[in-house]
C-alpha cells in the first residue's frame, strides 16, 4: 500500500475534511489530520487489515515558534507485517498569552505506548492530551515551572537553591 493509497483509504472512510494538508518533500511524506479526528484515524490505521499500523514508534510535541503561534504533535507509525511507515501530524493555533495549554485528544486508548510519549510532550512542550489516563510530568520534578522545549522558555537561575546552568 502506498502513501496515496493510505490517503485515499482515510478519505473514503472519514471524508476529505479529515486530511487538512500533506507534506511530500523531506525524508518521509506526512498527512496533516484534523486534530479532533486523530483518535479515529489511528484506530482505523491500526485495525484495518489493509494497513495494520500496529506500532507507534514515536510521538513528539512541537512548538512551531512564536511567529507561527502553533503547536503540534507528530506521530510516526510502522506496520510490522507490511513493512510500511507513516507519519501523521496535527496542529492547532495557540495564544501564548493565556494560561491554557494547547490541547489534543490522547491516542493512548489506541496505542498504550502513547501514554509515556504524551506525558513527555506534556512535560517538555506543555501540550495537554484530553482523555489521557495519567497526564503528569515524567522527566522533570512535579514543581518545575515552565516547559523547557518551548521556543519562549527561560530557565530559572536556581531550583531549590541549586544553580541551574
Range of the domain at 131: 3-163
DSSP codes, 4-30: HHHHHHHHHHH-GGGEEEEE-SSSS-E
pLDDT class of 135 with cuts at 50, 70, 90: very high
Confidence grade of residue 156 (pLDDT, cut at 50, 70, 90) = confident
What pLDDT is stored for residue 46 in this prediction? 98
Could you give the CA distance from residue 109 to residue 114 in angstroms, rounded to a whole number? 8
CATH classification at residue 155? 3.30.460.80
Alpha helices in 15-158 (DSSP H): 38-47, 114-125
- Stretch 131-149: mean pLDDT: 95
Neighbours of 100 (CB within 10 A): 10
- Examine the pLDDT at 83 and tell me if it is beyond 90: yes
The structural domain count of the chain equals 1
In the chain, what percentage of residues exceed pLDDT 90? 91
Q: 98: Cβ–Cβ under 8 A, 6 or more apart, which residues?
A: none
pLDDT category at 155 given cuts 50, 70, 90 is confident
Task: Output the CA–CA distances (angstroms, integers) from residue 27 to 7, 24, 86, 108, in the order listed.
Answer: 18, 9, 11, 26
Q: What pLDDT shows up at residue 26?
A: 81
**pTM metric for this prediction:** 0.94
pLDDT at 27: 86
Determine the average pLDDT of the residues in 41-67: 97
Residue 165 has pLDDT above 80, yes or no: no
Q: Which residues contact 138 (CB under 8 A, 6 or more apart)?
A: 116, 119, 120, 122, 123
Amino acid at each position: 500500500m502506498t502513501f496515496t493509497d493510505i490517503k485515499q483509504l482515510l478519505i473514503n472512510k472519514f471524508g476529505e475534511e479529515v486530511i487538512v494538508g500533506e507534506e511530500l518533500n523531506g525524508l518521509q511524506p506526512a498527512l496533516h489530520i484534523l486534530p479532533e479526528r486523530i483518535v479515529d484515524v489511528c484506530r482505523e490505521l491500526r485495525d484495518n487489515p489493509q494497513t495494520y499500523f500496529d506500532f507507534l514508534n514515536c510521538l513528539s510535541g512541537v512548538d512551531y515558534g512564536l511567529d507561527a503561534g502553533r503547536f503540534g504533535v507528530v506521530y510516526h507509525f510502522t506496520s510490522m507485517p507490511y513493512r510500511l511507515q507513516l507519519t501523521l501530524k496535527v496542529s492547532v493555533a495557540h495564544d501564548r498569552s493565556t494560561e491554557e495549554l494547547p490541547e489534543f485528544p490522547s491516542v493512548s486508548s489506541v496505542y498504550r505506548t502513547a501514554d509515556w510519549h504524551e506525558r513527555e510532550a506534556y512535560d517538555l512542550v506543555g501540550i495537554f492530551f484530553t482523555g489521557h489516563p495519567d497526564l503528569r510530568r515524567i522527566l522533570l520534578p512535579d514543581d518545575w515551572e515552565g516547559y523547557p522545549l518551548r521556543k519562549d522558555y527561560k530557565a530559572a537561575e536556581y531550583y531549590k537553591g541549586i544553580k541551574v546552568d
